[in-house]
Amino acid sequence: MEHALLRYPDNRKRNPSLGIKKELIVTSEDDVAKFYENGNGAAGTRVRNAMHQVKGLAQKIRNEVTSKKNSVK
């Protein structure tokens, strides 16, 4: 299931993926608290899904940085 923030790309000029990644982490804070403080399993699943999406976005950013770095040489 795709997080709602991924369906509405950020309009920032520098790196929209980075902005979306930050927002995914921030919007997951409530679910993290629900999972760790109350043992809410559904909240834990939402956290795991959000972190999986963050991982994918992080890899995309790494690939973009590597590509840009290598094209300068």
Ranges assigned E (strand) in 1-73 = none
Q: What is the pLDDT of residues 4-31, one digit of tens each?
A: 545 544 444 566 777 788 888 898 999 9
Q: Would you state the structure tokens that stand for residue 25, as one six-digit string? A: 């982490």
The arithmetic mean of pLDDT across residues 49-63, rounded, is: 92
Q: Would you state the structure tokens that stand for residue 21, as one six-digit string? A: 């990644």
Which position has the higher pLDDT, 24 or 40?
40
Distance (Å, rounded) from C-alpha 23 to C-alpha 71?
29
**Nearest in space to 54 (alpha carbons), one of 8, 12, 13, 2:** 2
pTM (2 d.p.): 0.69
Structural contact between residues 20 and 5, judged by C-beta atoms closer than 8 angstroms: yes
Q: Would you state the structure tokens that stand for residue 29, as one six-digit string? A: 């804070």
